[in-house]
Amino acid sequence: MRYDLTPETRTLGYKLLTATVTPRPIGWVTSVSPGGIVNAAPYSFFNVMGDAPPVVALGIMGRPDGSLKDTARNILTAKDFVVNLVSRDLAEAMNVTCIDAPPEVSEIDLAKLETLPGAHVAAPRIARAPVSFECVMQQVVETGPVQRLLIGEVKAIHIADACLLDPERGHVDTTGLDLIARMHGAGWYAQARNLFELERPVYGK
């Protein structure tokens, strides 16, 4: 079956993209409004996109009326943000921050989350997150009338001590992070429990 995507098939296209590009890592973004309100929102159009410099990308769609979501507006104003990763024990709190709260309401407060200050950015990180990336905005690309691709340069990485096997060498207990990822539909998530390893081939060997 072939699906040709056009502006008229946007809803169908979204459904097909999110049902097939799985699992998707969740970037739980914290940012600060001009009025000092801390915003938290999860995004599954997210990934790391390079290491020289280290950058992450967030795909943020606008509201139905075309206006910016709080996260995008905050990042464009403050020029920084933190991407927190979501462990299974934080899934319910993360889900609370999906709420369509008005800009003057902090999702951090609604989810009863504690935060810690950033070392390089004004935005705080979520204290219980196993991993947090402090980012400064590098550039923004308008990929459509109601969506933007925000690219941030990572200035610091916080990893919970319990999830490090060898801190000096940067060896992480990746499975111990117990991260969840987005799947299909409105509320389906997954955990990486079944792993397998492949040896990368070397040409001529």
Domain membership of residue 50 (yes or no) is yes
What CATH number should be reported for the domain holding residue 33?
2.30.110.10
Q: What pLDDT, in 10s, does the model give residues 95-108?
A: 999 999 999 999 99
Q: What is the pLDDT of residue 66?
A: 79
- Structural domain span for residue 127: 25-184
Distance CA 98, CA 162 (A): 28
Q: What is the pLDDT of residue 108?
A: 98
Rounded to two decimals, what is the model's pTM? 0.95
Domain membership of residue 14 (yes or no) is no
Q: What is the pLDDT of residue 185?
A: 87
Domain membership of residue 171 (yes or no) is yes
Domain membership of residue 60 (yes or no) is yes
Q: What is the pLDDT of residue 38?
A: 97
Distances, alpha carbon 150 to alpha carbons 4, 79, 132, 137, 142, in Å: 26, 10, 17, 7, 9
Where does the chain show beta strands of DSSP type E?
24-25, 27-32, 38-43, 46-51, 54-61, 80-84, 115-116, 125-126, 131-144, 147-159, 164-166, 171-172, 180-182, 189-191
Structure token pair of residue 118: 């950033």
Asked if residues 140 and 76 have their Cβ atoms less than 8 Å apart, the reply is yes
The series of mean pLDDT values per 10 residues for the chain, 205 residues long, is 94 95 97 97 97 97 85 96 98 96 95 98 98 98 92 98 97 96 94 91 89
Domain membership of residue 158 (yes or no) is yes
Domain membership of residue 18 (yes or no) is no
Looking at this protein, which amino acid is placed at residue 71? T
Please give the tally of structural domains in the chain: 1
Domain membership of residue 49 (yes or no) is yes
Structure token pair of residue 52: 């020289």
